[in-house]
Amino acid sequence: MSTEKLKDYTADLLTLETHLFNAVKKQRTSEQVSDSDAMKLLNSLDQVLRNQINKLESQVDKMGGGRKSELKELLGSFAGLAAGLIDTVRKDPVSKMLRDDYTALSMLATGYTMLHTYALAAEENDLGELALNHLGEITPVITEISRVLPLVVARESTDMDKDQSEKIGQKAMENTQKMWNSEQIKKDPNIV
């Protein structure tokens, strides 16, 4: 992969991550977010994204600055649309906000996996390490969302008392977290 393509791809991830960061900032100030677990998660996500954006901006600058690629324009319009939707759905329940964050983080994780691979192929070890580190910072947040989401959904249920919603949220969290264990996903992936 050429240096120009690596620069474009890095700038594309910066664009996507910046859109997600802006959405998370709006979520953190939304009147809808009163759940302490959700707020703690959003604060953590805000910090991770803020740090990653700073490092990505520095990387793009070191690579000679960004220029618009077709992919960047596509991602920008997609992410811009998503950010615009977040503006219009500020009254959405917190569970939907977290679902959308989970989806965007999964997209970022995929992008960092690809960037890491491209950087290794181009023998750009510093960029490869940066992508791998960012992936390592995102994966725990994705896991934490999967843990917190059942609790938030149960708390949003209006037809239960608080004790009942906590029991159901805890049970749902335990059940869904079991689906992520190594026995369920057929142990560790085969590395060929």
* Token reading at 3: 């240096």
Q: What does the pLDDT read at residue 87?
A: 52
In a domain, 43, yes or no: yes
Residue 135 within any structural domain of the chain: yes
Give residue 70's pLDDT.
45
Confidence (pLDDT) at 182: 73
* 186 part of a folded domain: no
Q: Do you know the residue count of the chain?
A: 192
CB count, 10 Å around CB of 174?
A: 11
Q: Note whether residue 192 is domain-resident.
A: no
The residue segments making up the domain with residue 14 are 3-178
Q: CATH number for the domain including 25?
A: 1.20.1260.10
Does the residue 189 lie in any domain? Answer: no
Number of structural domains (the chain) is 1
Q: Are 151 and 169 in contact (CB under 8 A)?
A: yes
In a domain, 190, yes or no: no
In a structure prediction context, what are the per-residue pLDDT tens digits for the chain, which is 192 residues long?
678 889 888 998 999 999 999 999 999 988 888 899 999 999 999 999 999 999 999 999 898 875 445 445 555 555 555 555 455 445 678 999 999 999 999 999 999 999 999 999 999 999 999 999 999 999 999 999 999 999 999 999 877 788 899 999 999 999 999 888 777 777 666 666
Predicted local distance difference test score (pLDDT) of residue 65: 75
Phi then psi for 31, rounded to 5 degrees? -65, -20
pLDDT at 108: 94
Q: What is the pTM of this model?
A: 0.82
